[in-house]
Amino acid sequence: MPAFTFYFKFYGGEFAITKDFRINEEIRAREVRVVDTDGTQLGIMSGRDALRLAEEKQQDLVEIAPAAKPPVCKIMDFGKYKYEQSKREKETKKKQKVISVKEVKLRPNIEDHDFEVKAKNAIRFLKDGDKVKATIIFRGREIVHTQLGQQLLKRLAEDVKDISTVERLPKLEGKNMIMILAPKLDN
């Protein structure tokens, strides 16, 4: 039987791995090494004696290192431990910056004013800390003039070069030419 059971839970676009510990009567080992709440080792004892000792202290017996010989169990308040762990996870999620990719779609024969509007949108996205995927859509015979698309993407990269770096150079994928811009790290 595996030491930890890993469950994959789906939360709206991301998977979270939860680690479940064996506690109290779920511990099947005959002998366990017991660690007290303050970290002092109490030695090796039978599983029943360790469970009785934990119940006397009104705590839980939690198997923390099941692969060890004998398995290591700690006496702790498991509910409090899970609560503190969830608080730590929430705190680390708050500090994470989710970088999303925003898309700016262009055509090879775009007018100057329309291009400026698209460039302003790209600048706004980059200032918000998002990556920008600039896509040139070729329709019909426009695919013959891919150099126009490359010139347009180079012009866009030139317009936003002070706040971004080109993460991926213009590349033709099917009927679309794609370039990815990332915000500069010092912003």
Mean per-residue pLDDT for 4-15?
47
The stretch 34-62 carries a mean pLDDT of 89
Q: Which long-range contacts (CB under 8 A, 24 or more apart) does 31-34 make?
A: 31/70, 32/63, 32/70, 32/71, 32/72, 32/73, 33/68, 33/70, 33/71, 33/72, 33/73, 34/61, 34/73, 34/74, 34/75
Determine the pLDDT at residue 149: 92
State whether 55 and 111 are in the same domain: no
pLDDT confidence bin for 102, thresholds 50/70/90: very high
Is residue 22's pLDDT more than 60? yes
pTM above 0.95, yes or no: no
**One domain for residues 22 and 91:** yes
Q: What does the mean pLDDT of the chain come to?
A: 85
Question: What are residue 66's phi and psi, to 5 degrees?
Answer: -70, -20
Q: Are residues 41 and 64 part of one domain? A: yes
Question: Does residue 16 carry a pLDDT above 60?
Answer: no
Which amino acid, 66?
Answer: P
Note whether 66 and 111 are same-domain residues: no
Provide the pLDDT confidence category of residue 19 given band limits of 50, 70 and 90: low
Could you tell me the two tokens for 15?
A: 């998977």
- How many other β-carbons are positioned within 10 Å of the β-carbon of residue 30? 10
DSSP E strands, 36-175: 41-46, 60-65, 72-76, 101-106, 131-137, 164-173
Task: Say how many residues make up the chain.
Answer: 187
Q: Quick one: 87 and 107 in the same domain?
A: no
141 and 175 inside one domain: yes
Alpha carbon distance 79, 75 (integer Å): 12
The number of domains in the chain is 2
* Whole-number Å distance between alpha carbons of 64 and 74: 7
Confidence of residue 186 (pLDDT cuts 50, 70, 90): low
- State which residues form the domain around 156: 101-183
